[in-house]
């Protein structure tokens, strides 16, 4: 029995939350049942009173709400209250037509009171008041609130991309964390949903007003027919009885409708501040003494005109004048004024007080885009560029051996709409344009014919290209052009910049994180290596030297073994880089030549090699004429190598490699200088060009 009781025991929060879960379905069932089942007059009194109380509660909640999203359920409540009023109209219509001949109390005391007390028992006055209420509700409040909701929804939707970008920028900059970013994104989404719902919900209120007018006509006509034809009442008696009942029923429904419409207007017209609507109106309307005194003066002049209601005008003159004088004295009070000035000074001091939080560090890697490119970097608009950039970073980490910094993407309204910039530590390292919805047709060198479009250059490699429309895509491919999408253009440019500046993006933090990663896999090898054998600074410099010459650092086991062997005797990063390169010879050869048994390289003439060795030993440097000749011949050799499909690699004596690499890297960054000790065994070497001699 105890086990059975434990199985049947409900969770602790079930009882407290179950009524909230069932509230919506139960209310819908009650509304539908009121439209079908006949209700006694007392129950109608209860429901009409509940409807009035509910409308007042909604209005007060709207008045005391400080943020629009604090009452995000308002569109749904608007729907429920409209359905409740219509169902009450149906239920009251049924009982009026069935029991109206018995007297004015047939539909309950509430309907009777509204039909007699509010309009004095005069059905003509009641009809006029009822129509006026409907016109106020339909043509003024509801129409205005609906228009504001429509415009608000449009502006909110138009501003969503910018808000999302601002949230992403704050997240990338570290101003907010992931939880706060999720919260803000949810608020942006809820705000757009709210105004969109309000735009549609306002149609319910307008329809309710039209339905109220039609119900009035139907009830009056139906009451006359039922009273005269079925119950034998005189036409005058039937008109008086049924019209008063109908007017009372209409008023008891339209007054809550007017209150709900006012609440809708308050919700959509308010401006989000730390004050509710009442505080905003009082503080902004009655806080200026000059306005109050001038208004009192105008009313006073009107009150002195003969024939005007002097007492009323002079009463408000005295009231507004007294309030203005009080506020003026309060502001002129030295203590109060001094306190206000102190608060203002403290506020200004708080604003201008500088702190370390004001120091904004430059992002290691960033991208700025024009406003037309925002959809490409917005996940909510199916922007694919963020996914491509993440894929490029992952591929780079797998190929080069370290994870590059996170790319902080933000919009820049100073850029041209379709422009973008790639920044490294706040400095531009690349820029270009990308046109969403169009294609970039790149001429790889063998394309034929021309294309209609905007002539440009491919931003990564400078190849001639044309921005074309989608209709010319197939034609461009047939003519031999390489056709890529706008997001691919940016991604390719970013990938090229990442490879070009791989060494500069590899900082001390990346070196420490890479060493920590290796320490988890190879704890015995890395034990006591830093700082006993070498410092983190030396390790960072060696790895950076390798990356600067496009040597991947994936094989950290070999790199650390070479450093462990030579670091105790050698502390110079350049010399340690040389021995590490020799240890990585198989990886370097594989990187440049793949699985080729015969490798085609550029060679160095023996006589020139002797001259360079002597110049390096003497420390005198290269003569300007010789340096220019070497640079020109190297450029010609690289062009010949690329045309023949070979790798742009210069093979030299091990002692000269570092010197020539530094010298040629400035003018020929695509040229790799390898020493004869950095080529793995078993490869046949063929010199396709010779610097300082004739080609072989």
Residue 421's pLDDT is what? 93
Domains parsed from the chain with CATH numbers: 37-274 (no CATH), 286-336 (no CATH), 366-503 (3.40.30.60), 515-583 (1.10.8.540), 585-696 (3.40.50.12790)
SS3 of 574-587: HHHHHHHHHHCHHH
Residue 5's pLDDT is what? 41
Residue 696's pLDDT is what? 39
Residue 354's pLDDT is what? 63
Residue 151's pLDDT is what? 65
d(C-alpha 273, C-alpha 27), whole Å: 34
Q: Determine contact, residues 187/163, Cβ cutoff 8 Å.
A: no
Residue 273's pLDDT is what? 55
Which portions of the chain are predicted below pLDDT 70? 1-24, 68-69, 100-108, 115-123, 126, 130, 137-163, 166, 168-176, 192, 195-206, 209, 268-286, 331-356, 358, 382, 619-622, 693-696
Q: Determine contact, residues 96/246, Cβ cutoff 8 Å.
A: yes
Residue 1's pLDDT is what? 39
Phi/psi class of residue 86: alpha, beta or left (left: φ > 0; alpha: ψ in -120 to 50)?
A: alpha
Tokens of 669: 């960054």
Residue 610's pLDDT is what? 85
- Indicate the Cα dihedral angle 666, 492, 169, 177, nearest 10°: -100
What is the average pLDDT score of the chain?
Answer: 78
d(C-alpha 552, C-alpha 574), whole Å: 17
The separation between CA 532 and the C-alpha centre of its own chain, rounded to angstroms, equals: 48
């Amino acid at each position: 029995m105890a086990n059975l009781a434990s199985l049947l025991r409900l969770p602790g929060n079930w009882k407290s939350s179950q009524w909230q879960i069932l509230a919506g379905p139960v209310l819908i069932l009650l509304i539908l049942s009121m439209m079908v089942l006949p209700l006694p007059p007392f129950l109608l009194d209860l429901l009409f009173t509940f409807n009035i109380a509910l409308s007042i509660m909604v209005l007060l909640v709207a008045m005391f709400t400080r943020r629009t999203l604090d009452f995000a359920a308002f569109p749904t409540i608007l729907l429920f209250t409209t359905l409740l009023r219509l169902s009450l109209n149906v239920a009251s219509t049924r009982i009026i037509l069935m029991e109206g001949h018995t007297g004015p109390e047939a539909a309950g005391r509430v309907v009777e009171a509204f039909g007699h007390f509010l309009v004095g028992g005069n059905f003509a006055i009641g009809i006029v008041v009822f129509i006026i209420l409907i016109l106020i509700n339909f043509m003024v409040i509801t129409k205005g609130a609906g228009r504001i909701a429509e415009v608000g929804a449009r502006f909110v939707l138009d501003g969503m991309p910018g808000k999302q970008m601002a949230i992403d920028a704050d997240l990338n900059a570290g101003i907010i964390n992931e939880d706060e970013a999720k919260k803000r994104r949810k608020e942006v989404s809820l705000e757009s949903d709210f105004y969109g719902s309000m735009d549609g919900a306002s149609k319910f209120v307008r329809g309710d007003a039209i339905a109220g007018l039609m119900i009035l006509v139907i009830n009056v006509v139906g009451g006359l027919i039922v009273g005269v034809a079925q119950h034998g009442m005189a036409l005058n008696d039937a008109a008086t009885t049924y019209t008063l009942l109908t007017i009372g029923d209409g008023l008891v429904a339209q007054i809550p409708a007017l209150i709900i419409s006012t609440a809708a207007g308050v919700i959509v017209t308010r401006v989000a501040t730390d004050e509710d609507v009442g505080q905003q109106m009082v503080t902004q309307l009655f806080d200026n003494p000059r306005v109050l005194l001038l208004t009192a003066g105008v009313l006073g002049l009107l009150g002195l005109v003969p024939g005007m209601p002097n007492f009323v005008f002079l009463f408000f003159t005295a009231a507004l004048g007294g309030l203005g004088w009080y506020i003026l004295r309060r502001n002129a009070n030295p203590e109060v004024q001094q306190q206000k000035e102190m608060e203002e000074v403290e506020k200004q001091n708080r604003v201008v007080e500088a702190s370390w939080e004001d120091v904004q560090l430059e992002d290691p890697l960033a991208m700025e885009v024009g406003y037309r490119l925002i959809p490409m970097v917005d996940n909510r608009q199916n922007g694919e560029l963020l996914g491509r950039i993440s894929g490029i970073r992952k591929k780079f980490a797998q190929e080069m051996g370290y994870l590059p910094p996170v790319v902080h993407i933000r919009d820049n309204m100073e850029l041209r709409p379709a422009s973008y910039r790639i920044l490294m530590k706040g400095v531009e390292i690349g820029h270009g344009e990308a046109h969403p919805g169009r294609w970039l047709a790149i001429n790889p060198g063998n394309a034929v014919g021309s294309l209609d479009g905007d002539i440009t250059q491919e931003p990564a490699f400078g190849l001639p290209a044309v921005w074309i429309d989608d209709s010319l895509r197939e034609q461009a491919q047939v003519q031999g052009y390489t056709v890529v999408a706008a997001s691919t253009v940016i991604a390719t440019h970013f990938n090229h910049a990442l490879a070009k500046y791989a060494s500069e993006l590899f900082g001390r933090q990346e070196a420490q994180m890479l060493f920590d990663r290796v320490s988890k896999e190879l704890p015995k090898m890395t034990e006591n290596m830093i700082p006993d054998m070498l410092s983190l600074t030396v390790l960072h410099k060696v790895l950076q030297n390798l990356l600067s010459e496009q040597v991947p650092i994936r094989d950290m086991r070999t790199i650390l073994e070479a450093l462990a062997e030579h670091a105790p005797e050698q502390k110079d990063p350049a010399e340690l880089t040389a021995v590490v390169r020799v240890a990585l010879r198989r990886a370097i050869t594989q990187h440049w030549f793949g699985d080729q048994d015969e490798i085609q390289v550029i060679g160095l003439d023996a006589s020139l090699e002797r001259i360079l060795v002597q110049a390096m030993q003497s420390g005198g440097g290269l003569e300007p004429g010789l340096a220019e000749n070497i640079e020109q011949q190297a450029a010609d050799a690289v062009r010949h190598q690329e045309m023949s499909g070979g790798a742009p690699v210069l093979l030299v004596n091990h002692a000269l490699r570092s010197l020539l690499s530094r010298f040629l890297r400035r003018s020929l960054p695509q040229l790799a200088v390898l020493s004869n000790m950095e080529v793995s065994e078993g490869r046949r070497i063929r010199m396709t060009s010779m610097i300082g001699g004739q080609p072989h």
